[in-house]
């Protein structure tokens, strides 16, 4: 590897041009010396070859110049010589320096206007080669004293092309500035990497530039897009750095399939695949364990030049079935011709976990029925650690026995959870070398990321290497890139109901329990203290000290592109790309606990080898015929994906605490699987335009996908649907130019419309054909085979087909200072590919079927505003994006109107797709209600349930919005980004269990009354068992009504007045046989997602210091600093434990993290 890197660097530096001529060239002075000006000119000529033209009289009286040993810029040296004699210089293209006298006696007046004749106030007018300049006034007028009547002035203004104007002895000049390339002529990277102008596009499109990424650098691509792209819904699991992300464009199209977009990185095709699947991390019905990351989490943000988001079906149809959910095209940085530079970008951030749980009560500690645990019954004491139904603080004993047998003060412990977490630190260092010669460019980048997480002993290390080179050989253009990424992660946090889930264990601590006491998790002989009533819930300090999970990932991304121009109108383009990674994870559980199935310890290992390569070729032609233009292309793509899974599971540890396979007496190999997907495609497009005003695009693609193929007999009449075709049509009309409507108010206007059909195949093989595996363990000395899947294949499966309609308008006003981009879309996806649940008595748990139709309709908008624009003063730019998506299940099949997507098996809830509602509804038992909506209370004082499941609200938000502000004044800048979601619901199981444990402040009501009643019964000699059988006279009175049935059977309702034990009431609303309704919350939020305050040092400082620094920028950065608005108590409203379709469930989430840090960017 070192040899390869040495070769790459040597080759890169050999491409630096010999003569980097500019005024920034340097002179080397070997020793301190005092010499006259003429000898200085000779020294410059000897080292750089420059010639001088001057009048001898100008330099006759110049003083002897004192030079110090070292290097000095030519321009600084000339300034030292010429300033004392009131002279200046002019540099010509042939390497000649002309020395001239400065004469400030010529007065020039003028007016600056635009192409409509309107004045331009604030334009900059500067004499060439000097800093002598002024700005035009409100009427566009200016007066400038220049050195001579033959001088040249330079006029510049934001949004217009800079002009050089020779005075030629004129005393008055009137100058018309020409607008820069308009917004409609901006060039963007679209499908197949083709660069096109905005005005040509008939579909919605948005770009995030490299500046947006570098000014507040993030650790993942998903984080960089939060709140910045209209119609994009982003979520991330609560697993910290390296966690998987979920990016959804315009809603869920598939009920069970992957709904995330395709990613293209310099031609390399990437799915945002979780480690769990061959092509995508679609939802599992039961979710637990650790989050091993996804396809995006390992990419280096510093390598990215820009991100293009293609939203509509017409935008992504050319990418085939993988582009059905949209495409995100990522372009990385490359070198520039005839240059050389070094970029260094370093960031340090500090993460702080907010574990204060502000809606937890602080008045009652552990115990039950207002009584402390009996110190003589250790089992009762252990139960109390996560049970806060004891007496009020200060009303009884001052000491209480805890799980390890010791006695601690019985009082509230302030922030009893917060100190478990460290201040996380992340160091992210990136350096790159880039440049090129006349025909060749190169860029080599190295990134190093080291993270120490907020969870003790948890962290991530990543090294990223990238090399990109391009060569232009007249008609032949070559472009190649290779990236190599190594990653090691220690102790990723467990999620959901995994026994190692630290978040859930800490969130249930009674207020009098200090988390620091849990460090004493074993006695002097190493025996584990059972610290709570649930053997599936391990002590957090035991988890981080005794158990471990370690993962490594080595990834290679490579692409090579050859483009050959056969003629000036015909060219051929070929691409080859590969994505390959090897992933290994080991999960070690020490022995000694009562964790079912792991009492004697366990070691599980998983090995994954993944690779995908794509080969693509395109022949394209482009011609102009007067006012008509046409482009035509045909192409083909060959994709092969392969994944091999293997591993082992070991139990019965021999020597406690030794994490090694040889330390386990029982070892079981897990069956090895080898899954492959082959897709062959052909595609074509025709693009026409009339006078660059009216544009029409037609595309077509056909895929042959192996996951739909079925082996059939020659005589079979089976319809094999592995081939599917999808076309698209889009058009745009620039009406502002066509109808000559451009004015000072309307700068441009465009309307657009598109229709597209996209297809989608199953994401894994063997959906149409059964397969068999050979188990790792033989039976009676013979190999043991079995059916490879618990899902019945379906040889008649068809692809999902989505039809999308979109219309939109793109407007710009006030010389492009204000812009609006608005879209309306409608997508219908039929032939839904789902696994229907069937009776397990069949030997299977599911069967593949095509069912149903899902519809998404919505609007989205992007508003940009240049509120203040002053190149030399204050600037304020604001961007607002918004979107609303309505997701609806139109039909499933004749037998059902629901399809289960995810199950919270421990909490009696599901996420389902339901006909007439959305494809992500929270589903569970409901509270019975009276006709006026009040909760019906039963005779036992507890709420009555419906006994049947119903919808409790949809998961997805109604509105998604983002507001970005950029303020700048000279070298200072302030950037803020707000991220907002409104609507949608989440079931918080953390709050549900906290209520059952007596932790929430809403559980306080009725306690004192009930506890006093219990004490009265104890004083009368009753036992706790006897008291439990009584109906209390005091306690919590649930809000609601009771049914009253008269003799005729008529039902009326009266206010509930029956008190109950608060502990009984809140426990009745926890578990798998109750309703989640009281703990389903509005998931709306407003967050300050990003904040950056930076200063870019002016280059003049470094010139004076003779430092070869082109740019230096220092910034303070912050992320997730403030949740401005949220209705979800104690928990981050974005919390989730899966990146699949089963959103809407939160369970034991780790606390919300705020990040503060500093960034430095230097360019040499």
Q: Which of 316-325, 474-483, 709-718, 719-728 has the lowest mean pLDDT?
A: 709-718
Q: Which of 82-91, 417-426, 574-583, 1011-1020 has the lowest mean pLDDT?
A: 82-91
The predicted model gives 429-449 an average pLDDT of 94
Place of tokens 């926890």: 1070
pLDDT at 808: 94
* Planar angle of CA 768, 786, 679, nearest 5 degrees: 30
The predicted model gives 120-140 an average pLDDT of 80
Neighbours of 1050 (CB within 10 A): 8
Strand partners, 479: 470, 561
The sign of the torsion formed by the CA atoms of 649, 653, 654, 659 equals positive
Class of the CATH-defined domain 198-332: mainly beta
pLDDT at 6: 34
Chain CA centroid to CA 602, Å: 34
Chain CA centroid to CA 833, Å: 27
Confidence of residue 1011 (pLDDT cuts 50, 70, 90): very high
Angstrom distance (rounded) from CA 82 to CA 432: 38
Place of tokens 């879309």: 825
Angstrom distance (rounded) from CA 145 to CA 825: 58
List Cα–Cα distances, 1004 to 509, 989, 1077, in angstroms. 16, 19, 20
pLDDT at 1111: 87
Q: Is 194 exposed, middle or buried (0-12, 13-18, 19+ CB in 10 A)?
A: middle
Confidence of residue 1152 (pLDDT cuts 50, 70, 90): confident
Q: Is the pLDDT of residue 485 over 60?
A: yes
Q: Is the pLDDT of residue 286 over 60?
A: no
The SS3 assignment for 78 reads helix
- C-alpha dihedral over 165, 166, 169, 171, to 10 degrees? 10
pLDDT at 368: 94
List Cα–Cα distances, 658 to 92, 551, 664, in angstroms. 75, 18, 9
Stated pTM of the model = 0.83
Question: Which H or E run contains 268?
Answer: strand 268-271
List Cα–Cα distances, 288 to 496, 602, 908, in angstroms. 5, 17, 16
Q: Is the pLDDT of residue 283 over 60?
A: no
pLDDT at 760: 87
Angstrom distance (rounded) from CA 457 to CA 866: 47
Class of the CATH-defined domain 20-101: alpha beta
Domain ranges of the chain: 20-101, 106-176, 198-332
pLDDT at 249: 92
SS3 content of the chain, % helix, strand, coil (to 5): 15, 50, 40
**pLDDT, mean over the chain:** 86
The SS3 assignment for 981 reads strand
Question: DSSP string covering 173-194, please?
Answer: EEEEPPBPSPGGG-EEE-GGG-
**Tens-place pLDDT, residues 199-208:** 777 788 888 8
Q: Is the pLDDT of residue 15 over 50?
A: no
**Tens-place pLDDT, residues 305-364:** 888 888 877 777 788 788 888 888 888 898 988 889 999 999 999 999 988 898 999 999
Neighbours of 462 (CB within 10 A): 23
pLDDT at 101: 65
Angstrom distance (rounded) from CA 775 to CA 785: 6
Structure tokens at 1145: 């469930």
Q: Is the pLDDT of residue 277 over 50?
A: no
pLDDT at 1158: 96
Confidence of residue 716 (pLDDT cuts 50, 70, 90): low
Whether residue 536 contacts residue 497, with contact meaning beta carbons closer than 8 Å, is answered with yes
Whether residue 473 contacts residue 503, with contact meaning beta carbons closer than 8 Å, is answered with no
List Cα–Cα distances, 1129 to 621, 910, 995, 1097, 1113, in angstroms. 60, 22, 12, 44, 39
List Cα–Cα distances, 170 to 163, 234, 547, 868, 914, in angstroms. 17, 60, 84, 34, 78
Angstrom distance (rounded) from CA 807 to CA 862: 14
Confidence of residue 796 (pLDDT cuts 50, 70, 90): confident
Q: Which of 144-148, 457-461, 577-581, 1091-1095 has the lowest mean pLDDT?
A: 144-148
Neighbours of 615 (CB within 10 A): 14
pLDDT at 268: 85
Confidence of residue 431 (pLDDT cuts 50, 70, 90): very high
Say which DSSP state 258 is in.
-
Chain CA centroid to CA 307, Å: 12
Among candidates 467, 466, 470, 465, which has minimal Cα distance to 436?
470
**Tens-place pLDDT, residues 195-254:** 667 677 778 888 888 777 777 777 788 888 888 898 899 888 877 777 888 899 999 999
Backbone Cα Rg of the chain: 35
The SS3 assignment for 989 reads helix
Q: What are phi and psi of 188, to 5 degrees?
A: -130, 155
Confidence of residue 131 (pLDDT cuts 50, 70, 90): low
> Which of 98-102, 760-764, 806-810, 1134-1138 shows the highest mean pLDDT?
806-810
List Cα–Cα distances, 28 to 66, 74, 307, 366, 823, in angstroms. 14, 10, 43, 78, 60
**Tens-place pLDDT, residues 1071-1093:** 888 999 999 999 999 999 999 99
pLDDT at 748: 85
The CATH homologous superfamily to which domain 106-176 belongs is: Carboxypeptidase-like, regulatory domain (2.60.40.1120)
Say which DSSP state 575 is in.
E
> Which of 382-386, 1139-1143, 1155-1159 shows the highest mean pLDDT?
1155-1159
């Amino acid at each position: 590897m070192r040899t390869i890197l040495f070769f790459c660097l040597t080759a890169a530096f050999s491409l630096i041009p010999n003569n980097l001529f500019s005024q920034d060239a340097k002179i080397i002075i070997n020793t301190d010396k005092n010499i006259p000006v003429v000898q200085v000119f000779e020294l410059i000529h000897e080292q750089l070859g420059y010639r001088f033209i001057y009048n001898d009289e100008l330099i006759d009286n110049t003083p002897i110049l004192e030079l110090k040993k070292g290097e000095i810029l030519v321009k600084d040296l000339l300034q030292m010589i010429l300033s004392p004699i009131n002279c200046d210089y002019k540099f010509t293209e042939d390497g000649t320096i002309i020395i001239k006298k400065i004469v400030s006696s010529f007065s020039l007046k003028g007016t600056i206007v635009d192409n409509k004749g309107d004045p331009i106030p604030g334009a900059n007018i500067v004499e060439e080669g000097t800093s002598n300049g002024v700005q035009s006034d409100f009427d566009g007028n200016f007066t400038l004293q220049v050195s001579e009547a033959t001088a040249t002035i330079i006029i510049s203004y934001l949004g217009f092309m800079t002009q050089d104007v020779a005075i030629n002895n004129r005393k008055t000049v009137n100058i018309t500035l020409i607008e820069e390339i308009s917004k409609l002529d901006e060039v963007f990277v679209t499908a197949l990497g083709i660069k096109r102008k905005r005005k040509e596009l008939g579909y919605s499109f948005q770009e995030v530039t490299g500046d947006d990424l570098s000014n507040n650098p993030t650790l993942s691509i998903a984080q960089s897009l939060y709140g910045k792209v209209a119609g994009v819904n982003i979520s991330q699991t609560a697993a910290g750095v390296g966690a998987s992300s979920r990016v959804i464009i315009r809603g869920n199209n598939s009920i069970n399939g992957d709904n995330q977009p395709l990613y293209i990185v310099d031609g390399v095709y990437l799915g945002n695949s979780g480690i769990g699947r061959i092509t995508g991390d679609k939802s599992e019905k039961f979710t637990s364990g650790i989050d091993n990351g996804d396809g995006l989490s390992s990419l280096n943000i510093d390598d990215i030049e820009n991100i293009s988001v293609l939203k509509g079906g017409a935008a992504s149809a050319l990418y085939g079935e993988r582009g059905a959910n949209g495409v995100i095209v990522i372009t990385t940085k490359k070198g520039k011709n005839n240059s050389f530079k070094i970029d260094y970008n370093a960031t340090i951030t500090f993460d702080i976990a907010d574990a204060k749980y502000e809606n937890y009560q602080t008045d009652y500690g552990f115990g039950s029925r207002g009584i402390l645990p009996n110190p003589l019954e250790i089992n009762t004491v252990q139960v109390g650690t996560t049970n806060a139904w004891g007496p009020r603080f200060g009303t009884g004993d001052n000491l209480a026995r805890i799980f390890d047998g010791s006695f601690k003060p019985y009082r509230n412990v302030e922030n009893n959870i917060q100190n478990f977490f460290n201040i996380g630190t992340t160091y992210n260092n990136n350096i790159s070398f880039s440049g090129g010669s006349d025909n060749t460019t190169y860029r080599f980048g190295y990134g190093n990321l080291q993270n120490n997480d907020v969870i003790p002993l948890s962290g991530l290390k990543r090294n990223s290497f990238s090399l990109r080179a391009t060569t232009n050989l007249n008609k032949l253009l070559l472009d190649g890139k290779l990236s190599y990424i190594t990653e090691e992660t220690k102790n990723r946090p467990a999620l959901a109901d995994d026994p190692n889930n630290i978040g859930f264990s800490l969130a249930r601590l009674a207020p009098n329990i200090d988390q620091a006491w849990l460090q004493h998790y074993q006695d002097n002989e190493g025996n584990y203290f059972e610290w709570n009533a649930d053997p599936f819930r391990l002590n957090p300090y035991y988890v981080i000290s005794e158990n471990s999970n370690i993962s490594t990932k080595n990834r290679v991304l490579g692409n090579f592109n050859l483009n050959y121009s056969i003629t000036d109108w015909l060219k051929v383009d070929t691409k080859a790309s590969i994505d390959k990674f090897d992933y290994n994870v080991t999960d070690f559980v020490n022995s000694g606990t009562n964790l079912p199935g792991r009492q004697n310890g366990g070691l599980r290992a998983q090995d994954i080898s993944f690779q995908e390569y794509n080969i693509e070729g395109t022949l394209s032609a482009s011609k102009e015929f007067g006012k008509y233009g046409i482009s035509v292309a045909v192409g083909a793509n060959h994709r092969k994906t392969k994944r091999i899974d293997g591993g082992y599971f070991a139990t019965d540890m021999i020597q406690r605490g030794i994490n090694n396979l040889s330390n386990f007496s029982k070892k079981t190999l897990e069956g090895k699987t080898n899954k492959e997907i082959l897709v062959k495609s052909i595609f074509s497009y025709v693009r026409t335009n009339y006078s660059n005003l009216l544009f029409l695009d037609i595309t077509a693609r056909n895929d042959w996908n192996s996951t739909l193929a079925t082996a059939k007999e020659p005589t079979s009449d089976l319809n094999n649907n592995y081939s599917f075709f999808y076309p698209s049509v889009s058009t745009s009309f620039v009406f502002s130019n066509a109808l000559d409507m451009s004015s000072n108010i309307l700068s441009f206007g465009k309307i657009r419309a598109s229709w597209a059909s996209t297809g989608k195949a199953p994401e894994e093989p063997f959906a149409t054909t059964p397969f068999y595996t050979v188990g790792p363990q033989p039976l009676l000395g013979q190999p043991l085979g079995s059916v490879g899947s618990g899902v019945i294949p379906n040889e008649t499966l068809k692809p999902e087909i989505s039809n999308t309609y979109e219309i939109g308008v793109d407007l710009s006003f006030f010389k492009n200072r204000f812009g609006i981009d608005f879209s309306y879309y409608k997508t219908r996806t039929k032939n839904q590919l789902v696994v229907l649940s069937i009776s397990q008595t069949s030997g299977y748990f599911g069967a593949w079927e095509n069912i149903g139709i899902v519809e998404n309709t919505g609007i989205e908008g992007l508003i940009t505003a240049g509120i203040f624009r002053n190149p030399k003063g204050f600037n304020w730019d604001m961007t607002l994006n918004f979107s609303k998506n309505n997701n609806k299940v139109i039909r499933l099949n004749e037998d059902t109107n629901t399809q289960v997507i995810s199950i919270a098996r421990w909490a009696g809830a599901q996420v389902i797709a339901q006909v007439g509602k959305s494809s992500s509804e929270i589903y569970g038992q409901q509270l019975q209600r009276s006709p006026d909506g009040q909760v019906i209370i039963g005779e036992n004082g507890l709420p009555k349930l419906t006994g049947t499941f119903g919808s409790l609200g949809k998961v997805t938000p109604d509105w998604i919005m983002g507001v970005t502000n950029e303020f700048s004044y000279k070298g200072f800048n302030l950037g803020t980004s707000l991220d907002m979601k409104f609507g949608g619901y989440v079931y918080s199981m953390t709050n549900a269990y906290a209520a059952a444990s007596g932790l929430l402040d809403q559980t306080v009501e009725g306690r004192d009354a009930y506890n006093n009643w219990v004490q009265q019964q104890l004083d009368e000699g009753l036992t706790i068992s006897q008291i439990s059988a009584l109906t209390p006279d005091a306690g919590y009175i649930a809000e609601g009504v009771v049914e009253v049935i008269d003799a005729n059977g008529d039902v009326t309702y009266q206010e509930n007045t029956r008190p109950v034990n608060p502990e009984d009431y809140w426990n009745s609303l926890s578990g798998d046989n109750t309703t989640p309704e009281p703990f389903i919350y509005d998931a709306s939020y407003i967050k300050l997602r990003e904040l950056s305050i930076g200063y870019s040092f002016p280059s003049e400082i470094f010139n004076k210091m003779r430092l070869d620094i082109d740019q230096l920028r220092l910034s303070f950065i912050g992320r997730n600093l403030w949740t401005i608005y949220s209705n979800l108590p104690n928990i981050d409203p974005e919390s989730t434990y899966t990146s699949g379709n089963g959103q809407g469930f939160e369970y034991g989430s780790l606390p919300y993290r705020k990040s503060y840090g500093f960034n430095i960017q230097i360019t040499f």
